């Protein structure tokens, strides 16, 4: 078929009309693939859908934050260890509401869920200082003309105030943030990297709960196909629908046999739980969440992919690769921030010898050092982190 369209001026001026196919109206069918619904990436949504509603996230955050907050602190002035100092007393009792372990657990929790933690130093009087945490969703960072952060704008329901950043000697604030490849100011939370696994795990739980509420039956349809043809009368349809809703749905209807009269047949719709394999999907999502937080799945009770030979090995890996790097990073940040307030040359660190999870490593180190005949007693003490006897 030859079509003549008025694409050129000559064709338009010739007076010829474009040919059209007769015989009715056409239509265009558009098909769009449905997009998955994901949890929002702000602190409140991650805290609500993750920490408050997902058992894997809740346990992972509590395990990391609780373990890291229990690691003892050490304070050094140069090479000398200080046993008593106002800085150690401040970390032992940061404020009147919280002890040191509770304060640090909340700080680590903010870091893991939000990727950011904000600490404010409040001057309560002469030589009286307190540390307070600022909730991340209430804080916005104010920058100068060059784009550098200079203050934290903290807002509540009734008040709003500005706290300078980095001026600890004047009662300022400290911003701790995890590495973010696309943001120069805010940190990137591990939970956001596991967002797909989090939504998959929560959706599988909601689907299983809805299935149990529906007597553990997948959705289906009652098909009326009598031999003589025809449809159900309106009163028959209403009676059948009422019986289905009252007797065969909900937990009270679990296990009841479905009584079908002549011409009715049940057709299951959708995939069965076995076909969907929601248990394996939840376990896979749980392993992804544990991977994002750096927690061995064995410590969270997640089956499958347990590459560690035993529980002790997994526990040591958890301390070495997740807990201690987080504690060391926090110690360096607090040292750089608080040292000008209490004096130069101060350095905070953690006491690895007091960590029960590393007892096996300490015993192995002491055994190797004790078996070294080329070391003197003072040399052996220095090799394991102690001073020589003459210095004591």
- Global pTM value: 0.74
Would the pLDDT of 36 be above 60?
A: no
Would the pLDDT of 77 be above 70?
A: yes
DSSP 165: B
The verdict on 324 and 260 lying in the same domain is no
The verdict on 225 and 328 lying in the same domain is no
Would the pLDDT of 57 be above 90?
A: yes
Scan for tokens 């955050």, then name that residue: 61
Least confident of 10-19, 181-190, 236-245: 10-19
The answer to whether residues 69 and 120 touch, using CB atoms and an 8 Å cutoff, is: no
The verdict on 155 and 99 lying in the same domain is yes
3-class SS of residue 91? helix
Q: How far apart are CA 72 and CA 63, in angstroms?
A: 16
Give percent of the chain above pLDDT 70: 68
Among candidate residues 211, 236, 269, the one where a domain is terminated: 269
| Residue range 260-308, pLDDT digits in tens | 555 666 666 555 555 556 777 888 889 999 999 999 988 888 876 566 6
The verdict on 130 and 235 lying in the same domain is no
Q: Which residue has the higher pLDDT, 211 or 12?
A: 211
Could you tell me if residue 230 is inside a domain? yes
Q: Which residue has the higher pLDDT, 246 or 148?
A: 148
The verdict on 60 and 158 lying in the same domain is yes
Report which listed range, 18-27, 85-94, 309-318, is most confident.
85-94
Would the pLDDT of 17 be above 60?
A: no
Q: How confident is the model at residue 369 (pLDDT cuts 50, 70, 90)?
A: confident
Could you tell me if residue 61 is inside a domain? yes
The answer to whether residues 339 and 174 touch, using CB atoms and an 8 Å cutoff, is: no
Three-state secondary structure of 190-245: HHHHCHHHHHHHHHHHHHHHHHHHCCCCCCEEEEECCCCCCCCCHHHHHHHHHHHH
The verdict on 333 and 345 lying in the same domain is yes
The verdict on 252 and 376 lying in the same domain is no
- CA nearest neighbour of 251 among 193, 200, 310, 211: 211
So what's the pLDDT on residue 158?
83
Mean pLDDT across the stretch 176-197? 92
Mean pLDDT across the stretch 312-331? 92
Report which listed range, 28-37, 43-52, 120-129, is most confident.
43-52
The verdict on 166 and 116 lying in the same domain is yes
Q: Both tokens of residue 287? A: 């392993």
Would the pLDDT of 10 be above 90?
A: no
Structural domains in the chain (count): 3
Among candidate residues 212, 235, 269, the one where a domain is terminated: 269
Could you tell me if residue 21 is inside a domain? no
In 311-369, where do the E strands start and end?
Answer: 346-350
The verdict on 110 and 241 lying in the same domain is no
Could you tell me if residue 336 is inside a domain? yes
Would the pLDDT of 99 be above 90?
A: yes
Distance from chain centroid for Cα 128: 36
Could you tell me if residue 207 is inside a domain? no
Q: How confident is the model at residue 27 (pLDDT cuts 50, 70, 90)?
A: very low
So what's the pLDDT on residue 107?
96
Could you tell me if residue 210 is inside a domain? no
The verdict on 244 and 97 lying in the same domain is no
Q: How far apart are CA 277 and CA 197, in angstroms?
A: 15
Mean pLDDT across the stretch 139-168? 87
Three-state secondary structure of 361-386: HHHHHHHHHHCCCCCCHHHHHHHCCC
Average pLDDT, the chain: 78
Could you tell me if residue 306 is inside a domain? yes
3-class SS of residue 27? coil
The verdict on 49 and 133 lying in the same domain is yes
Could you tell me if residue 48 is inside a domain? yes
The verdict on 241 and 310 lying in the same domain is no
Q: How confident is the model at residue 30 (pLDDT cuts 50, 70, 90)?
A: very low
3-class SS of residue 90? helix
Q: Which domain holds residue 373?
A: 358-392
């Amino acid at each position: 078929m030859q079509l003549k369209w008025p694409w050129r001026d000559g064709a338009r001026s010739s007076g010829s009309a474009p040919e059209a196919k007769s015989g009715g109206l056409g239509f265009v069918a558009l098909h769009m693939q449905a997009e998955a619904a994901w949890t929002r990436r702000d602190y409140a949504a991650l805290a609500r859908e993750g920490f408050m509603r997902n058992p894997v996230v809740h346990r992972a955050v509590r395990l990391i934050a609780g373990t890291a907050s229990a690691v003892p602190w050490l304070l050094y002035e140069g090479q000398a260890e200080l046993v008593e100092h106002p800085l150690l007393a401040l970390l032992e009792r940061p404020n009147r509401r919280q002890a040191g372990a509770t304060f640090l657990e909340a700080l680590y929790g903010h870091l893991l869920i939000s990727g950011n933690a904000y600490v404010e130093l409040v001057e309560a009087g002469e030589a009286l200082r307190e540390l307070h945490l600022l909730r991340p969703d209430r804080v916005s960072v104010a920058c100068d003309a060059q784009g550098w952060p200079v203050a934290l704008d903290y807002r509540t329901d009734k008040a709003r105030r500005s706290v300078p950043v980095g001026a600890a000697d004047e009662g300022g604030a400290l911003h701790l943030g995890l590495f973010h490849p696309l943001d120069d100011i805010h940190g990137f939370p591990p939970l956001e990297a596991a967002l797909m696994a989090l939504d998959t795990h929560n959706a599988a739980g909601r689907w299983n709960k809805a299935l149990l509420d529906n007597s553990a039956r997948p959705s289906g349809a009652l098909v009326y196909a009598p031999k003589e043809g025809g449809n159900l009368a309106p009163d028959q349809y209403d009676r059948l629908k009422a019986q289905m809703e009252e007797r065969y749905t909900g937990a009270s209807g679990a296990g009841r046999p479905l009584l079908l009269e002549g011409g009715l047949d049940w057709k299951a719709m959708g995939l069965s739980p076995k076909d969907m394999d929601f248990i394996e999907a939840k376990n896979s999502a749980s392993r992804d969440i544990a991977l994002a937080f750096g927690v061995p799945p064995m410590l969270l009770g997640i089956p499958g992919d347990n590459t560690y030979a035993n529980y002790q090995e997994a526990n040591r890996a958890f301390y070495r690769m997740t807990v201690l790097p987080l504690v060391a990073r926090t110690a360096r940040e607090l040292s750089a921030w608080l040292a000008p307030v209490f004096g130069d040359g101060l350095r905070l660190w953690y006491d690895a010898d007091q960590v029960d999870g590393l007892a096996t490593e300490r015993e192995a180190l002491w055994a190797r050092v004790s078996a070294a005949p080329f070391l003197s007693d003072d040399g052996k003490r220095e090799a394991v982190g102690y001073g020589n006897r003459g210095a004591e």
